[in-house]
Chains A and B, each alone.
Chain A
Amino acid sequence: MCGIVGFLGPASRDPGATGTVSAMLGAIAHRGPDDAGAFLDATCAMGTARLAIIDPALGAQPVCDPGERYWLCYNGEIYNYRELRAELEALGRPFRTHSDTEVLLQAWLQWGEACLPRLNGGFAFALYDRRTATLVLARDRYGKRPLFYAWHRGTFYFASEMKAFLAVPGFGFAFDPDQLAAILGQWTPLPHQTGFSGIDSLPLGTCLTLTETSATLRRFSGIAFDDGPAIGSRGEAIERIRQQMRESVALRLCSDVEVGVYMSGGLDSAIIARLARDALPRLSTFSIAFEDAEFDESAEQQELAAALDTRHSTLRIRHADMVAAFPDAVFHAEVPAFRSAFVPMFLLSQRTRASGVKVVLSGEGADEAFLGYDLFKETRLRADWDSLDEATRTERLAQLYPHLSHYGPQDVAATTGLYQQFSREHLPGLFSHELRFQNGRFSARLLKQAGDPFAAVGRLAAEEPGFAAMTPVEKAQWLEYQTLLPGYLLSTQGDRMALAHGVENRCPFLDPAVVALASAVNLRFDDGFEEKALLRAAFADCLPSSVVRKRKFPYRAPESAAFASLRPDYLELVLSEAELAKLPFIDQRFARALAQKVLSRDPAEISTKENQTFIFLLSIALLNRDFVAGGRRPGAAPQVRIADFRPVPVPA
């Protein structure tokens, strides 16, 4: 795993170009602490900070072809690189190393852009052709690895993390209130959004081709639900799920360094740990436990670790740990956050790396692929609402959100009234998410002018080919693949927290073959009201029954209660009138009322939406301090190997 940076345009001809690319690498050195290298010519400069996982000795970056025409800076892992390499070797392509980076380079030289849909993995890369002075940026289909870009003084800049732009001379950050409204409304940025003006995220599954005079964005892969295999029976479905998951985990265990597993105590990571344990002579597992019992799953974690006989490490999180790490975790996240659960992941990667493990497998993607969220059941219930009798409505309501007290049987009349309100589509295309977005509307009130927070996501859905023909549940899945998964789970809580301490996270449930298989079997052999029923059945005989039977327990962490009890100094950013005035787009009256309520009341009185809105406000204030107001400067430039192809200046 690595971080990449670079620029194309006049700045590469500047005498300071080497220093700029080195400084940008310094800003993201945490992503790749093992090595740093850069390439420059008269048009382009780019570099890689490398975390050495495969072929540590020979996999240095940037890599080039033997003729030194094509140069590649690459962040990611391609899990099918061995098969691709065999195919490329059969076609006569030469190889000098055993790294997947070189396979990607040769695949591009052989097949061009057509190689992209063939790559199974999480990746973001920059490939430069010296002869045509053309730069190509590409990013994987699920948005596992990040890539941001911006124009500044006529030069195009890109980086794995936006903090690299802090090292660009004269570059300034400013919030984009329209994007903030969307983020507050839908909980996460959309695939192209960052929350900052003039900085874009390269959307999932797209490829951007640039010269100094042109730019073309093309999509090479989308989210589809009709590309799975034909499955004839429930038994066949279960057998195929077992087999596909085993293959996916095996592919992701491929590494020249130790691979561990993040184990939450839930079903998804338990399956991964089981399969990894079957394949390895010993396995290190890592878990988060909470002093606050409301969030703790350590009993299941311990039971699982004992059953699988893993070398288990538990990091116990206290309120004080949350409060102390919050500003650093937000700095690494770079975008406003709606919940605090990413903070323990920041601390867990620190623990993992300290124990000598720098690759972990984790369970992200299972809930989206196999319909694990209550959101999908809720969508079915609301879509069918008018055709259901009172008894069926009540029965199905009782199956939703077991972790939320207000969904208990004593409140069924109230939830019936609520669902009545949400049984019609009010936001075109967004029916599945309207109840969630209702919480988002409250958060959007942080802004003086929120406009329509859902206009952008509505447009995204409307412009998606085939979206209108999807079922309500597929639309819900598609929206999850565009919002919560890439915009929070894989980024703020995933890649950014893991790579903050040089740990690479891999997600076996996000193998395209697994996702396609899930689409082929979902809701065909069950009604979806027992979440992930087929997945449970597939692994019921090789996991503790308590884990198999356990209902979805969303991973969460202490929120406003931690800040209210410990009152860290940085709360001034949201309590002081003078500090809030530094956020001119924020509705100060609402923000102050919210902060006062959240920090002064019994935490039991604070609702989810208020907690979320407070975490949003606090993270925006910290990002403003660190990025907009320049409160943090990038780290020192590392030692960088330079391949410099710029013309040597003729002495005067």
Chain B
Amino acid sequence: MVSINVKNVGLVYRLRQKISLARKTPAVQHTGGRVSAAGGRKTVIALEDLSFSLEAGDRLGLVGSNGAGKTTLLKVLYGIYEPTMGKVEMKGRVDALFNISLGFRKEATGRRNIVLRGLINGWSLDQINDRMDAIIEFSELGDFIDLPFKTYSQGMAARLAFSVATSLEPEILLMDEWIGAGDARFQEKAKRRMEEIAEKAGIIVLASHNHGLLKRTCNKILELDKGRLKAFLPVESWEETG
């Protein structure tokens, strides 16, 4: 049974002054949260004392202003950031849809890029081969699939990235904004694909500023404010307050 259990999670990191011969500037771009300076040390409190749990069937919408910690929380759930306090327990395979065009190589063919992206996603060669035809078909690239990625138009590249990224059967799906690609007709198809994935996934966590989308897709809402949990409530209650 898939589940997410977040207990008293905090993420605090030091703004390291990089050892440098240049004039001192903070080494890190702020990912959100609050900056505090104590004892000459600058730290970022990106997340503070977050606790919530989700079970199979839950669709959580993450809301909050820019810098509230939505992406940071997604990255903590995915395992890119290790929380400095508390505990995250994820039961189920976690897939994330952020930065879907990461790792595409312009000199390699579309087909080769599917293999590379699949490997990066942790798929086996058999899984990649099984999914290959469906990915190519969905991307509508036709014969272009055997040409170098650099010959693709922006729309074609986006269609390929979308097709590979969404060719999965996630148990837990993390998304930073709902993704789409291509022209109006493909957008429609992409929307249906996203809805299918969302239906299949055991749990979804979706960060978005699109309240209409969140109301349509989610059953729970978690609101963050400067890294703190401001509200965690059913979507109906959120609609009433919002």
Physical interaction between A and B: no
Name B residues whose Cβ lies closer than 8 Å to a Cβ of A. none
